[in-house]
Amino acid sequence: MLEKIKNKLGHFPFYVTKRMGFSKLKYWLIRAGGILLAFLLAGITCTLLKPGSFGLFFSEMIRGCFDFSDISSIIDLLVTFSILLLISTNLTPTFKMRFWNIGAEGQILMGCMGAAAMAKFMPRDMSNASVLIICLLTSMILSTIWSLVPAIFKAFFNTNETLFTLMLNYIASILSALAISQWIKSGSQSFGVLFNGVFPSILDNTGTLVVIISLVIFAGLFVYITKGKYGYEVSVLGESIDTARYIGINPKKVMIRTSLISGVVFGVIGFMIVCGIHQSFSPTIVGGQGFTGVLIAWLGHFNPMEIALFSFLSAVMQQGTTTAASAVNISSTQFSAICTGVFFFIIIACEFFSRYQIKMHHKEKVKEAKEI
């Protein structure tokens, strides 16, 4: 249909132009509207599946996230939030220098695999603390390899880092599946629960330490990005390689150093996911958070505070819809994933329509075309 109109007119009936003079207030109002709409749509979807559950959906959603009598669910929320926050913030420096690393998922997964291997195969009589240290070191090394290799190729051979990091995700995923099939003798492909290499419980939850570590590293990254020489070098490199060279920055060095730091942090994240959150391992353990992190970093315009906002909203959406779904007895665990997907879809749409606008070509010509 569109092709037909195009042939008749010589062009599509509409075109996209950049929007000019859009106030910051208006931009944020639209974003807020989009966020509200996403939550509303989740409620409507729930009501369509289970009639009459609209009010219950929201009260359960709030209970699932902000029930302060249940400290454990608050910590769970903070765990999801802080991991997302850390992943997105950690991607920011690489993105700022226009190194499009979309391999966070695989880089974290390699860290997870390293930690899991050590926690499983270190002798059982070894102290938990020493196993934890070995796990941490192994996961940092593996994640760093996964993050450095594409950076080295980009720096020396100008390889396309987007494809490279994307492909490494699949390799990491297949390697973990292979590892599990070798490690698990029962043939069930299920890793089971870790005996050793488990985070100590604070407030009856092993996740508390994950939150603390994440926030400390986040603070470090925040300083690294916004203040100091390194952050500046990264931004200049992102603007123009020639400018960077001109003022005496070595692009290769900066690229490799930035990827090295990001790899180390991804290693820590992988370590925390295995030893702190799951105490287990599977090829899908990262659960797409690496990709969500890319999305959040971009939606947050690489600004740590905006990133924090979207990480928090995403965590609320995930945990709230999970609790609400079981309260109204929606069986599928996919319900929460769908709601989160819709949430991001709407925010991206808001982003698009705030930056661009769709304009129609001359109206009569379109009318003519419709008569075809």
Partner 1 sequence: MKKSSRIAFALSLMALATGCSSTVTAASHEKGTPVKVGLICLHDSSSTYDKNFIDSMKEAVTTLGRMVDGEAIIKTGVKEDNDAYNAAKDLVKQGCNVIFADSFGHEPFILKAAKEWPTVTFCHATGTQAKTAGVANFHNAFASIYEGRYLAGYAAGLKLARMVENNELVEKNLDKDGNIKLGYVGAFPYAEVVSGYTSWYLGVKAVVSNVVMNVTYTQSWYDFNAEKNGAHTLADWGAAIISQHADSMGAPGECEALGVPNVTYNVPTGEECPNTYLAYSKIDWAPYYEAVISAAHENDAIVGEVNNNFTGSLATGSVKFDCANEADKLILEGVKAELSAKTKRVFDCSTFTVKGKHLTSYTADVDDYGDFQPETEVIRTEGGITFFDESALRSAPYFDVRIDGITELN
Size of the site for partner 1 (CB under 8 A): 44
Angle at 343 between CA 341 and CA 345, to 5 degrees: 70
CB of 74 to partner 1, least distance (A): 9
Work out the angle between the directed axes of helices 228-239 and 251-271 (0-180°, nearest 10). 120
**Residues 148-207 interacting with partner 1 (rule: CB under 8 A):** 181, 185-193, 203-205
Decide: 54 and 45 in contact? Cβ < 8 Å. no
Out of 279, 292, 314, 318, the residue judged to bind partner 1 by CB under 8 A: 279
Determine, following the binding rule CB under 8 A, whether residue 70 of this chain makes contact with partner 1: yes
Q: Which is nearer to partner 1, 262 or 322 (CB)?
A: 322
DSSP class of residue 122? S
Among the listed residues 2, 36, 284, 368, the single contact to partner 1 using CB under 8 A = 284
State the minimum distance, in angstroms, from the CB of residue 45 to partner 1: 16
Question: Residue 111: which of 271, 338, 300 has the closest Cα?
Answer: 271
| 120 scored as a contact of partner 1 (CB under 8 A) | no
Looking at 159, 250, 280, 303, which residue binds partner 1 (CB under 8 A)? Answer: 280
Does 240 participate in binding partner 1 (rule CB under 8 A)?
A: no
Minimum Å gap between C-beta 265 and partner 1 is 22
The smaller minimum CB distance to partner 1, of residues 281 and 298, is found at 281
Of 265 and 274, the one with the shorter C-beta distance to partner 1 is 274
Task: Measure the CA–CA gap between 146 and 140, rounded to whole angstroms.
Answer: 10
> 46 or 261, CB closer to partner 1?
46
Q: Closest CB to partner 1 among 28 and 195?
A: 195
Q: Under the criterion CB under 8 A, does residue 56 sit at the interface with partner 1?
A: yes
| Sole window of 163-171, 228-236, 247-255, 326-334 interacting with partner 1 (rule: CB under 8 A) | 326-334
**Which of 358, 353, 357 shows the shortest CA–CA distance to 33?**
353
**Among residues 207, 87, 92, 198, which one has the least CA distance to residue 143?**
87
d(CA 78, CA 336): 17
State the DSSP code for 17.
Answer: E
Backbone angles phi, psi at 18, to 5 degrees: -75, 140
Please tell me whether residue 133 binds partner 1 under the rule CB under 8 A: no
226 is a contact residue toward partner 1 (CB under 8 A) = no
Binds partner 1 (CB under 8 A): choice among 165, 196, 258, 323 = 323
Is 121 near partner 1 (CB under 8 A)? no
What is the C-alpha separation between 98 and 79, in angstroms, rounded? 29
Task: List beta partners, residue 359.
Answer: 15
In sequence order, what DSSP letters do the residues of 171-223 get, joined into one string? HHHHHHHHHHHHH-TTSS------SSS-PPPBTTBTHHHHHHHHHHHHHHHHH
Contact 265, 221 (CB under 8 A): yes
Closer to partner 1 by Cβ: residue 23 or 69: 69
Q: Does 334 bind partner 1 (CB under 8 A)?
A: yes
Q: Which of 51, 329, 364, 371 binds partner 1 (CB under 8 A)?
A: 329
Q: Which residue has the tokens 């292979």?
A: 178
What value, to the nearest 5°, has the Cα angle with vertex 110 and ends 257 and 177? Answer: 160
Nearer to partner 1, 180 or 234 (CB): 180
Stretch that binds partner 1, among 32-40, 291-299, 301-309, 331-339 (CB under 8 A): 331-339
**Which residues of the shown chain bind partner 1 in the complex (CB under 8 A)?**
55-56, 59-60, 62-63, 66-73, 181, 185-193, 203-205, 277-282, 284-285, 322-323, 326-327, 329, 331-334
